[in-house]
Structure 1
């Protein structure tokens, strides 16, 4: 009797192992097919890893996730993989989301949804219990997505604030103007590279991994991850303060060149070491998560294989909806026979004239950009510049809304401050984005907004939604325009006078803010 029972267990175990091999093979082939279908999204991720020091860590994410999955192989052997056809619904929704992100040229959203597709297909083929056992290794893949550049401006502002407070507390005379910190020895700029984003992202990726490996309770993991975010932000401000102090005490002989970057990485390494060392005092014993063993059910292997294959084919078909729909959408003709119509001067304003100064905003691959000057009649040195940047057809890296696009070039002009403003136009509030920038010759006040297929906004998320919606309901879209009006600021005390001048121009030239007046289409 025992011999028969042992033989039965052996047969079921063999069937079970065969099921796992076939399931793993199926998910591997389907994921390879997914990588080929979404190769453009995958290559965009890899390209950013290779060119940006901020996101170089992404190269290690997939190997780390793969290693964590490998370490759980014994636990996985106790689970019977079982396809989940319901995952097809989720894959369809993700594919539609990817399509919308592709239409609006939101690259990071495409990349996030691509990772979600990888996880969703794994769930659909291997089942809920397998994915539940691999929740963290699979979720950790999201760290491979190069995201976070939108945090650079607020991180720059915070770093400048902490640096100035530190200098004031230590008795160093200091003057802060936007991102420029002036001390008796010289002037420092909190550039984008000094924002600390690379420290923050690296700390968060490492801290999340450390929390998972060191703690079992969720609240301890959450607390440590929170500190992995807070500590590098504060530490970067202290780092910037220390660099300025070293330069101040050495009469600008130290920490003003490449050495300040070296000091920064040494300091960051010390901070991370301290963070992990402090976290080790609350480290919990490594308790293996319990996984109940599936019952030994001698299922029909032939039917199981058919189920894996059918589910895999349905999943990859659903995932293909995004790229296939994108190809069909872009086959439709797009009306590019439009030009920006610069309004003529009004009763109180002369122009437009060609500007004589240098102002080259950083908007690559734009097809049409214009800049004209208007002068207020009978008023000396009261001029307004109007700038338009037009993209009749947008593609990835050739788009109006992009984190790399700026109204200042970073060389001649640099950002001082930026915020939202409400302007009263004919009794109604008109929202603009206010930018103050500076050059060696002075300051310039800029008000700007976006016109997306007839909708006006200053919200970047809304602008992207308008782009996607416009292309879906009206493929012959008129494109996207940035409209800006600017005037020079004589001195920082007279900013309000410059604002009143811009407001006067917009009120007396309503065509500037009219969505239908700015474009002339055949």
Structure 2
């Protein structure tokens, strides 16, 4: 397979050796973990936020091609010690798959791609190509956890700027009303797309145009901060255009057009300013014509053995993951409605609100209303067991309000406590209802409102081969107005029904 490499020690021959051996190492990891690689590629294809991932691998190849003159002077000498980071990345993938944390699986895949090439190429060659090889990290779909904070900051700035302009504003969560109309900062307004794309291109620009670490770091910081501020100004500009025009412009498709035009101008200005301080000869040579001898490369047998070692070090994780995810459980699941406590009455008709949470993949679901006097609360339970991707308690699709929902919007999201239970307190506003929600996650003998803690507990259950039964528990009620909280009502309901709720949760598996 590598016999042709022994014909000449010229740069061209060594470059061919580099390309073929690196491609084989890359292909081994992609083939072994093809489901994860396909999942990443599908996210690139369907998500506008991560569409930049489609150009990451072409950029990596382009960067390596541009460095071919320098890389060709360094021989391929497999680094067997690099099998350690390769194994660590494989274990990270196992943890990510076992706990159904896609980001961990995806970053681990990127780590395995880098480590596999490192094993085959060796220390010197990998270090010389460190930037192109690590650039693959930008292909990992990561950053959506920033969206809520980015939305809050965008709303904060927009409201502050409007008030500074002299426009009165009434704000509820990320929605606000001004004299000319109402506005909401939704996920598309968070600026996450601008931020991720700007940082990726900024890192590439800095590496290509600067040599000093200081200049590179300063430009990357600018590439992070400028899109944040630009998105805030964009949101304020859109609201002002709508306000000053009597809502005749910047309220439909032109809302997006104006926003993208403004952002494009700002980013172009950033890179124009950055080019003023460009340092010459900041990139490597692409000349293969040199005839200077290079050190002797490893034998074809050694390179082949390194490729086999990469395959052996990666293939072990797939069957181990399959064994761990075979979680024991019951053949059937059915949640019984908790019996009403004294003073409460189970209501036979539907819940008294038009809002319902979005949960998918549950084994069983319960929605039950309870009345005390003229006040009503609704208990919602989504029960999960033998969890796999798409059928798990903590996943992106399990949400109180989806991005596609045009009727309901989130106006409050905070940590709280009900009946001495840590909960998440949310408020959603729609037409005609205002709903207050108190939620937590039941994990058998544990309760938490933190999804990260829930994922850790799931991982522990998987590694210990225990049942992973868990549930999302929500108690919600209609708010009569913005000034009246339902907390006293919900607190009383949970205190009087907590034991009964936990009893029916434990009885849900049917053996």
1:392 to 370, 385, 388: 385
Q: Secondary structure at the match of 2:9?
A: helix
Q: Counterparts of 2:9 and 2:468 in 1: how far apart (Å)?
A: 63
Q: Counterparts of 2:295 and 2:47 in 1: how far apart (Å)?
A: 51
1:199-221 superposed Cα distances (whole Å, 9 cap, x missing partner): 11111111111111122222222
Q: List structure 1 runs of 4+ shifted beyond 6 angstroms.
A: none
| 1:39 correspondence with 2:34 | yes
CA 154–332 in structure 1, closer or farther in 2 if over 3 Å, else same: closer
Aligned to 2:3: none
| 1:403 correspondence with 2:393 | no
8 Å CA contact 2:425, 2:439 repeated in 1: yes
Aligned to 2:189: 194
Alignment of 1:99-178 (within 5 A): 99-178=94-173
The number of aligned residues is: 498
Q: Counterparts of 1:15 and 1:328 in 2: how far apart (Å)?
A: 49
Q: Counterparts of 2:122 and 2:504 in 1: how far apart (Å)?
A: 53
1:443-462 superposed Cα distances (whole Å, 9 cap, x missing partner): 21111111235432222222
8 Å CA contact 2:328, 2:386 repeated in 1: no
Aligned to 1:448: 439
Aligned to 2:90: 95
| 1:374 correspondence with 2:356 | no
8 Å CA contact 1:421, 1:432 repeated in 2: yes
1:269 to 250, 259, 264: 264
Offset, 1:94: 1.2
Q: Secondary structure at the match of 1:494?
A: coil
1:373-417 superposed Cα distances (whole Å, 9 cap, x missing partner): 1122xx32x222111112223322332212232123524432111
Q: Secondary structure at the match of 2:57?
A: helix
CA 48–12 in structure 1, closer or farther in 2 if over 3 Å, else same: closer
1:440-497 superposed Cα distances (whole Å, 9 cap, x missing partner): 123211111112354322222221121122122135x2433111111222222122xx
Offset, 1:296: 5.3
Q: Counterparts of 1:19 and 1:278 in 2: how far apart (Å)?
A: 39
Aligned to 1:434: 425
1:16-69 superposed Cα distances (whole Å, 9 cap, x missing partner): 865654454233223222212211111111111111111111111111111011
Aligned to 1:482: 472
Q: Where does structure 2 lack aligned partners over 5 or more consecutive residues?
A: 1-5, 286-290
Aligned to 1:472: 463
8 Å CA contact 2:95, 2:459 repeated in 1: yes
Q: Counterparts of 2:51 and 2:500 in 1: how far apart (Å)?
A: 44
Q: Where does structure 1 lack aligned partners over 5 or more consecutive residues?
A: 1-10
Q: Counterparts of 1:447 and 1:111 in 2: how far apart (Å)?
A: 32
Q: Counterparts of 1:223 and 1:516 in 2: how far apart (Å)?
A: 57
Q: Counterparts of 1:294 and 1:500 in 2: how far apart (Å)?
A: 82
1:27 to 11, 22, 29: 22
2:498 to 510, 513, 516: 510
CA 171–399 in structure 1, closer or farther in 2 if over 3 Å, else same: same
Aligned to 1:86: 81
CA 278–84 in structure 1, closer or farther in 2 if over 3 Å, else same: same
Q: Secondary structure at the match of 1:407?
A: coil
Q: Counterparts of 1:97 and 1:515 in 2: how far apart (Å)?
A: 36
1:226-260 superposed Cα distances (whole Å, 9 cap, x missing partner): 22112111211111111111111111111110111
8 Å CA contact 1:22, 1:305 repeated in 2: no
Q: Secondary structure at the match of 1:444?
A: strand
2:198 to 195, 203, 224: 203
Q: Counterparts of 1:58 and 1:27 in 2: how far apart (Å)?
A: 21
Q: Which moved more, 1:254-263 or 1:225-234?
A: 225-234
Q: Secondary structure at the match of 1:208?
A: helix
Alignment of 1:170-319 (within 5 A): 170-287=165-282, 297-298=295-296, 304-319=299-314
Q: Which moved more, 1:67-76 or 1:358-367?
A: 358-367
8 Å CA contact 2:169, 2:178 repeated in 1: yes
CA 499–331 in structure 1, closer or farther in 2 if over 3 Å, else same: closer
Q: Secondary structure at the match of 1:416?
A: strand
CA 298–388 in structure 1, closer or farther in 2 if over 3 Å, else same: closer
Offset, 1:284: 2.2
8 Å CA contact 1:178, 1:416 repeated in 2: yes
CA 224–507 in structure 1, closer or farther in 2 if over 3 Å, else same: same
Q: Counterparts of 1:61 and 1:50 in 2: how far apart (Å)?
A: 13
8 Å CA contact 1:511, 1:517 repeated in 2: no
Offset, 1:431: 1.0
Q: Counterparts of 2:137 and 2:507 in 1: how far apart (Å)?
A: 41
- Backbone CA RMSD of aligned residues: 2.5
8 Å CA contact 2:418, 2:494 repeated in 1: no
1:360 to 356, 359, 364: 356
Offset, 1:289: 6.6
8 Å CA contact 1:341, 1:518 repeated in 2: no
Q: Counterparts of 2:17 and 2:208 in 1: how far apart (Å)?
A: 30
Offset, 1:182: 1.0
Q: Secondary structure at the match of 1:501?
A: helix
CA 134–488 in structure 1, closer or farther in 2 if over 3 Å, else same: same
CA 389–72 in structure 1, closer or farther in 2 if over 3 Å, else same: same
